[in-house]
Amino acid sequence: MTGRKEELREFRSLKNGRCVKYGNNSFGTIKGYGMIKNSDFTIRKVAYIEGLKDNLISVSQLVMGTGLKVSFDDEGFEIIEKQSKKVLLKSERKGEMYPLNLNPIRGKPTICLLTKANTDDSWLWHRRLSHLNFKEINKLVLGDHVRGLPLLKFDKDHLCAACEMGKQSRKSHPT
């Protein structure tokens, strides 16, 4: 169950949804169903309940006939594909709760969503990454290798003064 409709794909709304009773004896109405998926992982029949503040997941429904296994320990939990033993999702424990972090499920956007970085951003990241060339910065973006690096296409429009000075060669002195 989720309270965020924008996280659901292929959403189908319901006219007369069923009621869900929470642990504190309050109720919510199911407004529709959708799915959350990325290239590795799909959760089907996710109920949208307007006003729900946290995402809730039924482990028994998640593993029933799906070929998935959920493993809990002191540090958190993992959702694992039984056959390949591939970890599809990992989430850390917070206090007594095992919250489901949906960011890895949503995945990164496809390459067509990249936009060209403005000049200030390009040179800022060039300096932050120790004057790395722009071809390599673009490889880092496309491979999602650096946390916090924006999904932009970096272009070089002029030569950095520090790089220019560093690439100068000195003529040899006569003996």
What are 19-44's pLDDT values in tens digits?
888 778 888 888 898 887 766 677 78
Q: Return the closest-CA partner of residue 122 out of 109, 131, 111, 110.
A: 131
Choose the final residue of a domain: 89, 106, 123. Answer: 106
- Pairing mode, strands 9-13 and 27-37: antiparallel
For residue 46, what pLDDT is reported?
86
* pLDDT digit string, tens, across residues 116-133: 556 667 778 778 888 888
Residue where a domain stops, chosen among 55, 78, 106:
106
pLDDT above 50 (res 56): yes
Q: What is the Cα–Cα distance from 129 to 138, expressed in whole angstroms?
A: 12
79, part of any domain: yes
Q: Are residues 98 and 35 in the same domain?
A: yes
pLDDT of 112 > 50? The answer is: no
Co-location of 154 and 135 in the same domain? yes
Question: pLDDT digit string (tens) for 60-108?
Answer: 877 877 788 888 888 888 888 888 888 877 888 888 877 776 655 544 4
Q: Is 16 in the same domain as 79?
A: yes
CA distance 175 to 6: 73
Is the model more confident about 51 or about 115?
51
Q: Tell me, yes or no, whether 116 and 73 share the same domain.
A: no
Q: Which residues of 132-166 are buried (b: 16+ CB within 10 A; e: fewer)?
A: bebeebbeebeeeeeeeeeebebeeeeeeeeeeee
Determine, yes or no, domain membership for 12. Answer: yes
Q: Are residues 18 and 64 in the same domain?
A: yes
Distances in whole angstroms, Cα of residue 37 to Cα of each of 25, 102, 163: 31, 10, 43
- Same domain for 11 and 80? yes
Q: Is 121 part of a structural domain of the chain? A: yes
* Helical packing angle, 119-128 and 134-143, nearest 10°: 90
User: Rounded to an integer, what is the distance from CA 20 to the centroid of its chain?
Assistant: 29
Token look-up 């307007």 returns 50
**Closest by Cα among 38, 30, 42, 39 to 5:** 30
How many domains does the chain contain in total?
Answer: 2
Are 21 and 80 in the same domain?
Answer: yes
Specify if 171 maps to a domain: no
CA distance 71 to 114: 36
User: In whole angstroms, what is the distance from residue 100 CA to residue 89 CA?
Assistant: 9
Classify residue 140: in a domain, yes or no.
yes
- Give pLDDT tens digits for 143-170: 777 777 776 666 666 677 777 777 766 6
Q: Tell me the residue range of the domain where 119 lies.
A: 111-166
